[in-house]
Amino acid sequence: MYLEDIFGLKGKVAIVTGGRRGIGQVVACGLAKAGAEVVIFSRTLSGETVKMIIEEGGKAYDIAVDVTDEKGVDDAVAEVMKRSGHIDVVFNNAGICIHEDTLTATVEEWRKVIDVNLTGEYIVARAVGKAMIENKIHGSIINMASMSGTIVNIPQWQASYNASKAGVIHMTKSLAIEWADYGIRVNSLSPGYIATPMSEDTPRELKDAWMPLIPQHRMGKPEELIPAILYLACDASGYTTGSDVIVDGGYVSF
């Protein structure tokens, strides 16, 4: 019973951004199975994820919001507070990637990636952090980073993505220090190559180049991220803040 109490999320409310598909959808379902009421933030309503959670006996609803829209995010957070009464966990997951070398990519593409991956996560973390502080909630914010914030991926070129994720890691550490006195923990998750519907469109030659560089010689499954996220979300990680948890099959250590 003790383990269920500290590792479970019963009675907690968790926001997942970008929860319509891929990693966000899988994690949203995992948080719901751990007992949380899950709120999906996405640019378009994610009825499929909500339906999946409810059919499994969980609680969920969604709100249409663009994470780069500051007012929209503020309004969405206020709606969650009004509807659910509190926010305990955020998985700040929404993100994009453009594979293009620097001399070919446009500045507009750079700004788009930075705006979604870094500024968008900042906007969401800031809005939720403010709500937690005002309501004296000791919550957990989990920002989606990437092993690309630590290493430079090869052979694909993606300077904007790598820079955005390095920024997320350091932003996470900064917010963790700023909000420690309020009992708010801020950590980041850095996955390696994960097999998702989006990765199915990745050229075969890229995947063939990645495999020898992954000590486990395979891509990870979205479900393999759930334990790390549950740890960061639950009370068991009460003394963990400002950390970047890397789940990459050993790639960064290679």
Angstrom distance (rounded) from CA 10 to CA 135: 19
Greatest Cα pair distance in the chain: 57
Q: Which of 42, 148, 160, 165 is catalytic?
A: 165
Predicted TM-score (pTM) of this structure: 0.95
C-beta separation of 100 from 158 below 8 A? yes
Angstrom distance (rounded) from CA 141 to CA 15: 9
148 catalytic per annotation: no
Write out pLDDT tens, residues 210-238: 999 999 999 999 999 999 999 999 999 99
130 catalytic per annotation: no
Write out pLDDT tens, residues 34-91: 999 999 999 988 689 999 999 999 999 999 999 999 999 999 999 999 999 999 999 9
Angstrom distance (rounded) from CA 6 to CA 233: 10
Q: Exposed (0-12), middle (13-18) or buried (19+): which is 33, by Cβ within 10 Å?
A: middle
Question: Per-domain residue ranges for the chain?
Answer: 2-242
Percentage of the chain lying above the pLDDT 70 cut: 97
Structure tokens at 244: 């970047």
For residue 88, which of 79, 96, 80 has the smallest C-alpha distance? 80
Q: Please, which residues have CB within 8 angstroms of residue 179's CB and are 6 or more apart in sequence? A: 129, 133, 186
Structure tokens at 51: 């339906």
CATH code linked to domain 2-242:
3.40.50.720
10 catalytic per annotation: no
Q: Which of 161, 164, 193, 251 is catalytic?
A: 161
